Amino acid sequence: MSSTLSVNQNKLQKRLRRQAGEAVADYNMIEDGDKIMVCLSGGKDSYAMLDILMYLQKVAPVRFELVAVNMDQKQPGFPEHVLPEYLKGLGIEYHIIEKDTYSVVKEKIPEGKTTCSLCSRLRRGTLYTFADEIGATKMALGHHRDDIVETFFLNLFYGGTLKAMPPKLLSDDGRNVVIRPLAYCKESDIAQYAELKGFPIIPCNLCGSQDNLQRQVVKGMLQEWEQRTPGRTEVMFRALQNVVPSQLADRNLFDFASLKIDQQAEPRFINAMNL
C-alpha cells in the first residue's frame, strides 16, 4: 500500500512505525518467542497498534506471535460482526470474549455517574485471565503518549499521586506483563493514520458520551497548552522519563532523614575566591 501513499502519508506511517519500534526496543517490550495478546477495543488506537505490530513482526530481528483479542461487553447496538470480519481479512488468529460487563456497570453505577473506572477494572480482570488461558507472555494495550500524560495529570489533580501509565508493567499478581507499544506516538498522528488506513472504528456507546469525565477536562487543558506552546506535551512526557527523586518529597524513594553535611566537602566560598 505504501506505493500509493502521498509523501506526507508515507512520512506519517514511517514515523509511527519508527516510534513504536523505539519504544519496544527501549523497554524491551518484545522478546524472542513471545506470544503477544493484542487487546482490541475497536477504537483507532488499538487498530493502529495491531497494524504496526504486524509490520514489526515482519521486520523485527526476533520471532514473536500475535493473537488479537476483543472483549464483547454486550453493549446495546455493538456491531458484533465488524471485528471478526476485519480480523479474518487480516488472516490473524483472534478471539472474541463475550462477557456482559455492561449490565454489571449499569447496575452498580448510578445514572449520570461516570462508568469508565468500573468498566475498565472488569475488562482488565477478564483480559488478564484470558491471557493466562492462552499462554500469552505479553498483553499489548493501545495507550499512546497523550494517554500517558493525561493519566499523570489525572493522578496529580485527583488522586494525589505522581504516577502515569508505564510503557511496560508487571501486573500486581506478577502473572501478566503489559506493554504499550504506542507510548512514544501522539494521538493526532494515530487519528490521521486511522483515517488513512480506513479502520472500521466502533464507538463506545457506554462511556463515549460522558462529556463530564475528568479525563476530558484534563485532555482539554493539555490541548489548550499544546496550542499555545507546540511541543509541550512531548516535553512533559520526557519529564516522566527523567525523574529526580531527591528533588521531590517521597520518603520511600529518597532517604531524606539521613541527609547530613559532608565535613570533607570543600566550602563554596573557597572555590569562588580561587576563580
Tell me the average pLDDT of the chain: 88
pLDDT tens-place string over residues 174-194? 889 999 999 999 999 999 999
Provide the pLDDT for residue 267: 79
Provide the pLDDT for residue 103: 65
pLDDT at 266 over 90: no
C-alpha cell at 93: 488468529
- Across residues 199-206, what is the average pLDDT? 78
Name residue 35's beta-bridge partners: 65
Q: Which domains does the chain have, with CATH numbers?
A: 2-247 (3.40.50.620)
Provide the pLDDT for residue 208: 46
- Across residues 94-109, what is the average pLDDT? 73
**In the chain, pLDDT over 90 holds for what percent of residues?**
69
Ranked by mean pLDDT, the top range of 4-13, 32-41, 96-105 is 32-41
- Binned at pLDDT 50, 70 and 90, residue 101 comes out as low
Which H or E run contains 233?
Answer: helix 232-240
Q: Which of 76-80, 166-170, 228-232 has the lowest mean pLDDT?
A: 76-80
| CA nearest neighbour of 194 among 49, 71, 95, 15 | 49
**DSSP, residue by residue, 81-144:** THHHHHHHHHT--EEEEE--HHHHHHHHSPTTS--HHHHHHHHHHHHHHHHHHHT-SEEE----
pLDDT tens-place string over residues 39-87? 998 999 999 999 999 999 999 999 999 999 998 876 777 788 999 999 9
pLDDT at 29 over 90: yes
